[in-house]
Amino acid sequence: MSLLDSVKSVFGLAEEEKELYLRPLKSSDLSAVLTIEKMVYNFPWSDRIFKDCLTLDYSNLALIKRGELIGYSILSIAVGEAHILNVCVHPEHQRQGLAKFFILDLLKVAKKKNAETIFLEVRPSNLAAVSLYEGLGFQQIGHRKDYYPAEGGREDAVVYSLDLNPNVT
Ligand SMILES: CC(C)(COP(=O)(O)OP(=O)(O)OC[C@H]1O[C@@H](n2cnc3c(N)ncnc32)[C@H](O)[C@@H]1OP(=O)(O)O)[C@@H](O)C(=O)NCCC(=O)NCCS
């Protein structure tokens, strides 16, 4: 074993050497983020929206696999409430448990920043997201009428919440 390997085995790997890790999202990530955003949504967020998210006091994370950005999340936290505004995983990396891994981390971030409840909106037609959040214990608490743009009109949002106190340690 080389000296470097021994050091790594004692102290652990540096973030950038890990196979898969989360780190804060940076403005230099925006081009990779927008590429994924346009692949996964019919109505993607604009460059301007992501830039605004980076200037606000949000918890924005990048999911990196072998050096490549393959997912991202935008989380706002204020006065005891957290709000998941966006979570995406690159289509080539979906169905591998990565969104679950991501969201479990977001719950911990929210709890650490003293949020008691976490909320999100989702399109009822987004069956993958509905199944993801319901599988993690989120409860439907209401609807927001005509919340999203949709082909030929608007689509309602389903609002979900999760109480962080009993569910996250
Ligand atoms: C929704 C999304 C984030 C899921 O990412 P993912 O990494 O594929 O999800 P995971 O592999 O962690 O799956 C976790 C659970 O989500 C559900 N799920 C994920 N993809 C699904 C699909 N295509 N169909 C049905 N259920 C799905 C399942 O319940 C799954 O659990 P299981 O694998 O035990 O069945 C991903 O499809 C995506 O980026 N979609 C576009 C953006 C989006 O809609 N974001 C959510 C709104 S903020």
C-alpha of residue 85 to centroid of ligand 1, in Å: 15
pLDDT of residue 166: 79
- pLDDT tens digits for the chain (169 residues)? 444 454 445 455 666 667 999 999 999 999 999 999 999 999 999 999 999 999 998 999 999 999 999 999 999 999 999 999 999 999 999 999 999 999 999 999 999 999 999 999 999 999 999 999 999 999 999 999 999 999 999 999 999 999 999 777 7
Q: What confidence score (pLDDT) does residue 116 get?
A: 96
In this predicted structure, what is the pLDDT of residue 139?
A: 97
The reported pLDDT for the residue numbered 169 is 78
Q: Which atom of ligand 1 is nearest to the CA of 121?
A: 48
Query: Residue 162 belongs to what H/E stretch?
Result: strand 153-163
Which of 89, 90, 101, 105 has most ligand 1 atoms within 8 Å of its beta carbon, as the pocket-test mutant?
A: 89
Class level of CATH domain 18-167: alpha beta
Ligand 1 center from residue 95 Cα (angstroms) = 6
Q: Is 151 a catalytic residue?
A: no
Q: Active-site residue among 72, 133, 148, 160? A: 133
147 is annotated as an active-site residue: no
Long-range contacts of 106-112 (CB under 8 A, 24+ apart): 106/59, 106/61, 106/73, 106/75, 106/82, 107/162, 107/164, 107/167, 107/168, 108/168, 109/59, 109/61, 109/75, 109/77, 110/59, 110/75, 110/77, 110/82, 110/164, 110/168, 111/164, 111/168
| Beta carbon of 103 within 6 Å of any ligand 1 atom | no
Side-chain half-sphere exposure of 67, counting CA atoms within 13 A: 1
pTM: 0.91
Amino acid (one-letter) located at 29: D
